[in-house]
Amino acid sequence: MLYAVGFLGSLLGRLLRRDTPVTLTSVRLLRFTSPLNHDKAIRELGWEPRPTAEAVRRAARFFTSVADARAGHSRR
DSSP 6-73: HHHHHHHHHHHTS--S--HHHHHHHTTPPPP--HHHHHHH------HHHHHHHHHHHHHHHHHHHHT-
User: Over 70: is that where the pLDDT of 76 sits?
Assistant: no
User: Over 90: is that where the pLDDT of 36 sits?
Assistant: no
Nearest Cα neighbor of 1 from 26, 34, 27 is 27
How much is the pLDDT for 58?
94
User: Over 70: is that where the pLDDT of 43 sits?
Assistant: yes
How much is the pLDDT for 35?
80
Cα distance between residue 11 and residue 24, in whole Å? 9
